[in-house]
């Protein structure tokens, strides 16, 4: 892994980091003027109005640096930039006016279609998932690509409920996607992902909690979660559907295992309870971890470490020729296990309390809730 990472060009990532930091500073007065603040209340645990400008800063920083440092030459970046602009602008409108969910979905569908028809990025083969050499989607290629893109965008949006959570998980996914791209010989994708990693790193400076920063100073908002979800989709499709640089789709699924598992389980449970899949609640994995005593940053670090471990383990399993359908089955079994475990809130909280006990053996007692950082 270290040899792979040494092959990456970090200069573009550093420029993206600096550009996004500058944008975050410049956009603060704009946020105040336009009312782009997330206010406390309801299910929200933060205590002070917080600017929601992280997403637009990451989007602008990534696109600007991508166009400047590595001008597109047939790699579909223009289409990506157009699609990203659609989801960022729609997210900003939603952050400001809280639009209905179907307008967000419509914008995400349009962005996915731009990615397909302008960039030529789509899912055409599912054979590698099932260990087959060929399994063409044919006429279902575009609908499946749209469905997968909208699903990834909303999975990232749903996991964005605690300081640092979505940013850290996406950063880890981007790191592994970059490594997979470099390992497969797709240097363009690897370097594109490094640019986004730089932008996300800048955002995390303001979104994570530190000893000198007791609360998040900025949120990414729907603009940010939409942008990052689109990035994951675009990169995953470019890697897995490129015959010259093949990466198995099952591997990329494990790179975003936590957001996908959390979203799939919650949507299934909401449908079972005859509620809208977009019904907001406090049953996400990070909510349960905080109820068990994890602070937001601690929960983000634990889930990020788990994600990196999963990606590394599955990558090694593929190198050892473990059948790909077994790795897909392992992911589905993990989702089923989480569905059962989280079916009773007290049971899930107790599980995380036991998981937290080695970190705080002196203060965590069985059956006693410990307060989180929020």
What is the three-class DSSP state of 219?
strand
Helices of type H across 241-295: 249-255, 257-272, 285-291
Label residue 160 left, alpha or beta by phi (over 0 means left) and psi (-120 to 50 means alpha).
beta
Domain boundaries, the chain: 2-356
Q: Say what the pLDDT of residue 78 is.
A: 86
Please write the tens of the pLDDT for every residue from 340-360: 999 999 999 999 999 988 766
Report pLDDT digits (tens) over 143-165.
999 999 999 999 999 999 889 99
Which residues does 221 contact at the CB level (< 8 Å), separation at least 6?
36, 38, 52, 53, 54, 55, 91, 92, 94, 95
Token pair in block for residue 21: 């930091």
pTM above 0.85, yes or no: yes
| The predicted structure's pLDDT at residue 189 | 84
Q: Which of 28, 94, 14 minimizes the C-alpha distance to 57?
A: 28
Is pLDDT at 362 greater than 80 in this prediction?
no
212 vs 9, residue with greater confidence: 212
């Amino acid at each position: 892994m270290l040899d792979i990472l040494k092959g990456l060009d970090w200069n573009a990532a550093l420029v993206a980091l600096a550009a996004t930091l500058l944008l975050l500073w410049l956009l603060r007065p704009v946020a105040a003027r336009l009312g782009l603040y997330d206010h406390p209340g309801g299910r929200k645990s933060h205590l002070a109005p917080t600017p929601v400008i992280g997403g637009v800063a990451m989007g602008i920083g990534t696109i600007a640096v991508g166009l400047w440092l590595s001008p597109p030459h047939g790699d579909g970046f223009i289409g990506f930039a157009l699609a990203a602009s659609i989801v960022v602008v729609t997210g900003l409108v939603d952050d400001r006016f809280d639009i209905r969910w179907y307008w967000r979905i419509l914008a995400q569908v349009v962005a996915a279609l731009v990615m397909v028809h302008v960039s030529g990025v789509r899912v055409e083969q599912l054979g590698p998932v099932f260990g087959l050499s060929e399994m063409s989607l044919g006429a279902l290629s575009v609908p499946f690509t749209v469905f997968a893109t909208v699903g990834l965008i909303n999975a990232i949006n749903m996991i964005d409920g605690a300081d640092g959570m979505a940013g850290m998980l996406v950063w880890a996914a981007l790191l592994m996607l970059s490594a997979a791209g470099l390992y497969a010989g797709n240097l363009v994708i690897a370097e594109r992902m490094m640019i986004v990693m730089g932008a996300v790193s800048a955002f995390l400076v303001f979104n994570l909690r530190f000893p000198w920063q007791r609360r998040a100073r900025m949120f990414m908002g729907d603009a940010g979660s939409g942008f990052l979800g689109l990035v994951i989709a675009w990169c995953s499709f470019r890697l897995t559907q490129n015959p010259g640089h093949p990466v198995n789709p099952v591997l990329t699924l494990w790179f975003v295992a936590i957001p996908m598992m959390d979203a799939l389980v919650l949507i299934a449970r909401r449908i079972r309870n005859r509620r809208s899949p977009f019904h907001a609640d406090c049953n996400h994995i990070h909510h349960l971890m905080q109820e068990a005593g994890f602070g937001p940053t601690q929960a983000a670090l634990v889930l990020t470490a788990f994600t990196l471990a999963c990606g590394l383990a599955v990558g090694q399993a593929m190198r050892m020729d473990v059948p790909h359908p077994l790795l897909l089955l392992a992911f589905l079994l993990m989702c089923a296990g989480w569905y059962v475990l989280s079916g009773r809130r007290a049971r899930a909280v107790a599980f995380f309390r036991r998981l937290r006990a080695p970190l705080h053996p002196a203060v965590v007692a069985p059956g006693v809730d410990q307060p989180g950082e929020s």
